[in-house]
Amino acid sequence: MPTQLLYTASLPENVNVAYIVQPDALNSVPGLTEPELRFAQSQIEQKGTLIYINRYDYKLYLVMVPKKKTLAGYQEEIRKAGNGLQKVLEADKIKELYISDLTETNAARFLAVGLFLSNYKFLKYKTKSTPASLETIYLTGPEFDETEVRNLHNVQSAVCLARDLVNEPHNFQSAEMLAQQFVQIGEEAGFQTEVLELVQIQSLKMGGLISVNQGSIDPPTFTIMEWAPENAQNAKPIILVGKGVVYDTGGLSLKPTPNSMDLMKSDMSGAAAVAGIMYAAAKNNLPLHIIGLVPATDNRPGGRAYAPGDVITMHSGKTVEVLNTDAEGRLILADALSFAKKYDPELVIDMATLTGAAVRAIGKEAIAMMGTAPEEVKMQLKISGEHVYERLVEFPLWDEYGKHIESDIADIKNIGMAEAGQISAGKFLEHFVDYPWIHLDIAGTAFLTAPDSYRGKHATGSPVRLIYDFLSSQVKSLNGSIFG
């Protein structure tokens, strides 16, 4: 069963407990006997950061608080401690755990997040599998209440939902299948979903999405998700756009090696993140009007596949010279960004596994950010990035980079030079916006080939926590405008 994160007003007796404690404050652990205290101190001297004490009917886990120069670094170390704790709990086959913070630093929240996300497993296609033993995590203490813990649970569940969508194999995840899952998620969470099919997409003249889809036997979809609560604080909607390339071969510009396609089911991570954010916003009754847009297709070299040298007319009316069919994500995003104008949005944030250049520039440790939104909005996003440790690195969109995508025969071309590839991709998208806009290139953070603490292996759910934190911060500051 999915992990449950619950609140309890008081800590019961004789239950499995994780105490978060300062190394020099072991005396603050309730009921610790002298032999247990001496044992714990000896373990600390051996550089132990996690100490567990077996009382046979139940167990105590002492999580030592790390020292970090920054608050964000400290909180991240606590999340990582949750990953270490989950491994011990799995070995001990613990089903229920209570968390109690003895440090007065609100550390229980971060330990719970690390523990919850580390407990994730994708077992759908295992004929023989062992689900995670930990079923329920309880947060206790005066710093929490039931609503706060429920909201925290919903956000972590949203991350796991996004992970599930990305980890799904492509033979079970066509554009139509993905859209149907969005409908089901909307029904569960409480937001409205509309799926536009091929004829409607053609009537809207979405040339980018139509062209990328030409090599596929499966039709494209364009999904509109909307959360519009009666108490929405923003006069204009905030729009989230996610790249939904459910599988990417590179098209006729075929990816150079077979193993470069192995992970290409993950090229719809931006779309999955949008669905996760919409789920969390609706489940938590976030008082914001939010719209999610997902253009979806696969990118294959079959049939009448679009080709290098083609010129296509986009939804906006701009013409694009295609020089590389593996630069397809920006084409379908451009149609969605142009479509977003009809809503007169307050802010648009797109998220996409867009370029290998972003990975080469900043690795798996950060998200590349560009955009035209005011500096205060960018700063608020960066602050949220520090809060959840999905950090952002801003790249410029100087006019000079526009030369990288100048075309001899069309308005622009779909790929720039070898240098600054992530910036020229952002510069391409900029042609299709006339509103405050942020572009997030999540190519490095969305899917990992090796385990990385609580982010796990394969789909991470990035940037669900980042965008939800940003949106929830707007609730506290909004006064009819996101810039208020």
- The reply to whether 255 belongs to the active site is yes
Q: What is the pLDDT of residue 45?
A: 77
Residue with tokens 């506290």: 476
Q: Please compute, for residue 352, the number of CA atoms within 13 A of its CA located in the half-sphere on the CB side.
A: 33
Q: Which of 150, 236, 255, 341 is catalytic?
A: 255
pLDDT band, very low/low/confident/very high, at 68 (cuts 50, 70, 90) = confident
What distance lies between CA 318 and its chain's CA centroid?
31
At 116, is the pLDDT very low, low, confident or very high (cuts 50, 70, 90)?
very high
CA 7 from centroid of its chain's CA atoms:
25
% residues pLDDT > 90 (the chain)? 91
Q: Which domains does the chain have, with CATH numbers?
A: 4-144 (3.40.220.10), 169-477 (3.40.630.10)
Characterise 205 by phi-psi region: left (phi > 0), alpha (psi -120 to 50), beta (else). Answer: left
Asked whether the beta carbons of 201 and 222 are under 8 A apart, the reply is: yes
- Catalytic-labelled residue, pool 243, 300, 330, 378: 330
The pLDDT tens digits for 307-321 are: 999 999 999 999 999
Contact between 219 and 202 (Cβ < 8 Å): no
Q: Whole-prediction pTM value?
A: 0.96
- Please say if the pLDDT value at position 36 is more than 90: yes
CA angle, residues 83, 89, 91, in degrees to nearest 5? 110
69: annotated active-site residue: no
The tens digit of pLDDT for each residue in 427-462 reads 999 999 999 999 999 999 999 999 999 999 999 999
| Cβ-Cβ contacts under 8 Å for 302 (sequence gap 6 or more) | 215, 216, 217
Q: Compute the distance between CA of residue 263 and CA of residue 272 in angstroms, rounded to an integer.
A: 15
User: How confident is the model at residue 129, as a pLDDT?
Assistant: 86
* Geometric angle at alpha carbon 92, from 90 and 94, rounded to 5°: 70
What is the torsional sign of CA 405, 409, 410, 414?
A: negative
Q: How far apart are the first and last CA of the chain?
A: 42
Total residues belonging to the chain: 484
- Tokens representing 193 are 């979903």
Structure tokens at 151: 């909201």
